[in-house]
Structures are given as C-alpha cells and as structure tokens.
Amino acid sequence: MKTFLLNLLILFLSVHLFADPVKKSDELCSCLKDAKESKNEKSKKKCLQLREKHVKALKKNSPEYNEYIERLNVCERQLMGAGDIDANLSTEKKIEAVCNCFQNKAQQKMMCFKLQSDYAKTIANDEERASFNVASGSCDK
C-alpha cells in the first residue's frame, strides 16, 4: 500500500512539474524572443527542439496543451507587433480589423494572416467562420 501511494504521489508530482503549460510557454516565448533578436539559425533550431519537447510532455489535445498553445499565440502576436485580439467583436468588426491590417501593414502580411487565423478561431459557428474566412481572405488582394 505504501508503495502504491508513493508511486501515485510521484506520478502526480511529475505530471504537475513537467507538464506546466505556463512555465513551458514562458520558456519557449523567451527562446523565441532571443532567437528573433540574435537572428541566429542555431537559436531558431533550439526553439523548435524545445517546442517538440514541450508538445511531447504536454500531450497534444490535453487541457494543458491547449493552454500552452493559447499562451504561445499571445507571445507570437506580441513578437510580430500584432497586439491582442478581441473575441467579443462582431464578425463584421473582425473582418474590418483584418482588412485594415492588410491595407495598412502590407509589408507585414504574416502578422495579418496570424490575426485572421486568430479571429477565425473565436467564431464557433461553422457557417459564420466560413463566411468570415471568405470575406477577410478577399482583403488580401
């Protein structure tokens, strides 16, 4: 019985210590910032390896993994200068925000595509999301 409880305690601690999405996302975000500043290929490769390690530890599609991805999205938007998204905007306002990005930041199209993707994820209704993707996709012309 003592062995069982000890194993259970070790398992519980290892899951919480090694699968902490906040700590892991902060670690990768820091790595990405350093890689962006250094513009060194080794730094970028280090970040990719770190992400692979995190994905294995967090187990894809788990609540911890989803939290990790959400936090990384915020980090990536900050690194690109895109800022936060407002999930409560109407679909029309989301389309307008994406179109404004494509018109005003033509040199930073990746940031606009990221904004478009992030807003699409905030739309639960499949038909509405498809309509958003078509309308906001036509802005990039």
Domain positions in the chain are 18-80, 91-137
Give CA–CA dist 102/43, Å, rounded.
30
- Model pLDDT, residue 35: 87
- Model pLDDT, residue 43: 86
Burial class (CB in 10 A: 0-12, 13-18, 19+), 104: exposed
Query: Nearest to residue 90, comparing CAs of 112, 122, 116, 60?
Result: 122
Q: What is the mean pLDDT of each successive set of 10 residues along the chain, which is 141 residues long?
A: 60 54 90 86 89 87 88 84 80 90 79 87 92 86 58
Location of structure tokens 């078509």? 134
Three-state secondary structure call for residue 82: coil
- Model pLDDT, residue 38: 86
CB atoms within 10 A of CB 35: 19
- Model pLDDT, residue 13: 47
Give CA–CA dist 124/131, Å, rounded.
12
Give CA–CA dist 45/22, Å, rounded.
21
- Model pLDDT, residue 5: 57
